Amino acid sequence: MRFLVDNQLPPSLARFISQDLQAEALHVTEIGMRDSADAAVWSYAAENNFVVISKDDDFVTLYSQTPSASLLWVRIGNCRRAFLLNVFRDHWPRIIAKFERGEKFVELR
């Protein structure tokens, strides 16, 4: 399973997922999509088999219209990076289990 972290989340999240959670993850800045429209990021994720990780509800709309990629929708308000990474660490097994069961849309609260 591969993850693509959207611009609204820090690049350190992608590094954390790769290094600490042992899953492949990239941030949009790493693939030259920092300023790309959400639809372009969504298309890239679908074409390259990535799960998009985003706080942006525009991706929920894109998923509703074209469920060609999977989405991890982060529903945590603004917070410090350490808090965000701890939430991911605590919920990661549940997140992975849902995607492995075939769910394509997972919320992280």
For the segment 2-31, what is each residue's pLDDT rounded down to a tens digit?
A: 999 999 999 999 999 999 999 999 999 999
pLDDT reported for residue 87 = 98
pLDDT reported for residue 59 = 98
- Measured distance CA(30)–CA(2) in Å, rounded: 14
- Measured distance CA(107)–CA(109) in Å, rounded: 6
- Measured distance CA(56)–CA(97) in Å, rounded: 23
pLDDT reported for residue 26 = 98
Residue ranges making up the domain that contains 28: 2-108
- Hey, what amino acid is at 87? V
pLDDT reported for residue 52 = 98
Token output for 96: 């992975």
Please enumerate in sequence order all residues whose Cβ is within 8 A of that of 3, keeping only pairs 6 or more positions apart, or say none. 14, 17, 23, 24, 25, 26, 50, 51, 52, 53, 72
pLDDT reported for residue 55 = 97
pLDDT reported for residue 62 = 97
Please give the tally of structural domains in the chain.
1
Structural element, H or E, at residue 106: strand 105-108
| CATH code, domain carrying 63 | 3.40.50
pLDDT in tens, 46-87: 999 999 999 999 999 999 999 999 999 999 999 999 999 999
